């Protein structure tokens, strides 16, 4: 499935997407299915432990770079045809947004081979994450759930989110809109299913948005794990 995203998100963008405090940056993070971002490269010397997990990270650097570029180019073409559906105020213009994200991609690619060897970038097709219960303080997922990138079923979302809530005390997902900026029709059913399984749920407004309605994240936690 084509993952059309302007990859290259930076630490400051993640901070505002996921409503993170500066004090939280010293904790243990799992970045899940969030593609190519500078989060790992920019945070790794501050965080107690940081793993970026994505099925793409089974690829070698050259194949991954080609895959990222196809995805980035596809999404950029989509945005250019509908610029009035986006808010570039944070960046100043679309061109400045693109330049900033490409800087993030350069940081990611520069870090990738070393990070892969060190086990900071992990790729596998296994359903179960290779981590113990509540190993991480936070699991962050950017532009995967509630979008055309992920399988469009409630079961997929619930299963994956439950697995994230097993390995992390606090799961945060952004955004809650699809690529067209429309609130996902899956959000309500997924929240209901998780509540029925006794997970804590919060939809929280955040400072970041690129799409006018895309200024909220979903927070999930296992009730037996105090956060």
pLDDT single digits (tens) 106-159: 999 999 999 999 999 999 778 799 999 999 999 999 999 998 666 789 999 999
**Quick check: 1 pLDDT over 70?**
no
Please report the beta strands in the chain, taking only residues with DSSP state E, as ranges in sequence order: 28-32, 49-53, 121-122, 136-142, 168-174, 199-205, 216-222
Q: Does residue 51 fall inside a structural domain?
A: yes
pLDDT single digits (tens) 39-78: 999 998 887 899 999 999 999 999 999 999 999 999 999 9
CA dist 178 and 225 (Å) reads 30
Q: Does residue 119 fall inside a structural domain?
A: yes
CA dist 33 and 215 (Å) reads 20
Q: Does residue 161 fall inside a structural domain?
A: yes
Confidence of residue 94 (pLDDT cuts 50, 70, 90): very high
Sign of the CA dihedral with 74 first, then 55, 156, and 159 last: negative
Report pLDDT for 5.
86
Q: Does residue 5 fall inside a structural domain?
A: no
CA dist 55 and 66 (Å) reads 15
CATH number at residue 40: 3.40.50.150
Q: What is the mean pLDDT of the chain?
A: 93
Q: Does residue 78 fall inside a structural domain?
A: yes
Q: Does residue 4 fall inside a structural domain?
A: no
CA dist 40 and 10 (Å) reads 9
What is the pTM (predicted TM-score) of this model?
Answer: 0.94
Q: Does residue 3 fall inside a structural domain?
A: no
Domain that holds residue 148: 11-222
Tally the domains of the chain: 1
């Amino acid at each position: 499935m084509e993952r059309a995203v302007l990859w290259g998100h930076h630490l400051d963008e993640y901070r505002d997407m996921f409503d993170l405090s500066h004090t939280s940056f010293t904790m243990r993070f799992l970045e899940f299915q969030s593609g190519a971002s500078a989060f790992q490269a920019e945070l790794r010397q501050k965080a107690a432990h940081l793993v970026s997990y994505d099925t793409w990270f089974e690829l070698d650097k050259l194949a991954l770079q080609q895959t990222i570029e196809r995805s980035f180019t596809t999404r950029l073409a989509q945005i250019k045809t509908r610029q009035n559906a986006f808010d570039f105020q944070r960046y100043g213009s679309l061109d400045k947004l693109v330049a900033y994200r490409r800087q993030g991609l350069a940081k990611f690619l520069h870090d990738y081979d070393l990070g892969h060897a060190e086990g900071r970038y992990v790729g596998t097709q296994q359903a179960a994450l290779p981590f113990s219960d509540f190993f991480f303080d936070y699991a962050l997922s950017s532009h995967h759930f509630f979008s055309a990138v992920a399988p469009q079923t409630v079961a997929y979302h619930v299963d994956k989110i439950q697995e994230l809530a097993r390995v992390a005390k606090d799961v945060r997902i952004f955004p809650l809109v699809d690529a067209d900026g429309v609130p996902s029709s899956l959000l309500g059913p997924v929240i209901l299913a998780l509540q029925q399984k006794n997970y804590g749920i919060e939809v929280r407004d955040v400072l970041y948005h690129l799409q006018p309605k895309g200024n909220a994240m979903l927070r999930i936690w296992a009730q037996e794990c105090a956060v």
